[in-house]
């Protein structure tokens, strides 16, 4: 996976690049709401989406982004945007929302803040 290799407003060139690569592109900063996710998936700009609750404006929009991805059989992973200790459990709750076929990023359990990729079904 290559995360956001081009500018955040460059859906067109992400789509052109994705057609040339075997490796999946994951869009992150490009996805600000469900409309961005729908446009990215319709144009083939990515094969994976990173949804950040804070960036998309809250849980309602994050759920819409998730649903757009799920409708298109595209994996989603949930990253964070500098959440404090209070915010992390809230984001974790979103990660558990109907994501049986999605990926999730979570803080490393030893408290280092290092992020690890894990399977949410094992939580």
Q: What is the pLDDT of residue 97?
A: 55
Torsion of CA 22, 23, 29, 30, to 10 degrees: 10
Q: What is the pLDDT of residue 117?
A: 44
Coil, helix or strand for 78? strand
Q: Within a 10 A sphere around the Cβ of 110, how many other Cβ atoms? A: 8
Q: What is the pLDDT of residue 78?
A: 80
- Please list the ranges in the chain whose pLDDT falls under 50: 99-123
Q: What is the pLDDT of residue 80?
A: 67
Beta bridge partners of 107: 115
């Amino acid at each position: 996976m290559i995360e956001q290799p081009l500018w955040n407003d460059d859906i067109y060139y992400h789509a052109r690049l994705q057609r040339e690569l075997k490796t999946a592109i994951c869009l992150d900063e490009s996805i600000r709401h469900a409309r961005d996710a729908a446009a990215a998936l319709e144009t083939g700009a990515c094969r994976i989406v990173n949804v950040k609750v804070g960036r998309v404006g809250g849980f309602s929009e994050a759920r819409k982004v998730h649903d757009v991805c799920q409708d298109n059989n595209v994996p989603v992973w949930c990253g964070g945007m500098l959440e404090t200790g209070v915010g992390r459990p809230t984001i974790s709750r979103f990660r558990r929302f109907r994501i049986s076929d999605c990926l999730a990023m979570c803080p490393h359990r030893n408290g280092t803040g290092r992020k690890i990729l894990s399977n949410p079904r094992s939580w």
